[in-house]
Amino acid sequence: MKNKALTITLIILVVITLVGIVGLILALQFNKGANGPNEPSIDQIIEASVDVPEITTNLSGSQFIRISLKIQTDNKKAAEELAKRDFQVNNIVIQELSEMTPKDLEGKAGKQAFEDSIKSQLNPLMQSGEIEKVYIVSYIIQ
């Protein structure tokens, strides 16, 4: 009788433990999805972005470039501030490009380095947020 009661008690404890473990795993997975990185929607990205109209300037050497950018900020207020700083953005872009050669902008790595450079120079100016990404929308080197 005692062995039968002990066996039933152990089975019940094992079942309760397994149900608890499964429940914990499911709860953690559910919370992981809910609390994970929340990517903004495309509408939120556009709302927090500023277009930099086409800039034509000389590169280092005899060639020149026409380039357009879209700069993504982390919120709408930061985008409004960046739009007001358009003259500073243009200045930074022109200064950066004046030090570059067409070879510096070749390939994916060259364009990424330019985008990162613009981002790192603009972020210290920002008071209401930060620059998340700089996109080259169009460019032509002549």
The pLDDT tens digits for 76-119 are: 999 999 999 999 999 999 999 999 999 999 999 999 999 999 99
Per-residue model confidence as pLDDT tens digits over 10-64: 899 989 998 989 888 888 887 765 555 578 889 999 999 999 999 999 998 889 9
End-to-end CA, the chain: 95
The CA–CA distances, whole Å, from 52 to 57, 81, 117 equal: 14, 13, 16
Please report where in the chains the tokens 């603009």 appear, as a residue: 122
What's residue 34's pLDDT? Answer: 57
Contact in structure between 33 and 97 (CB atoms under 8 Å): no
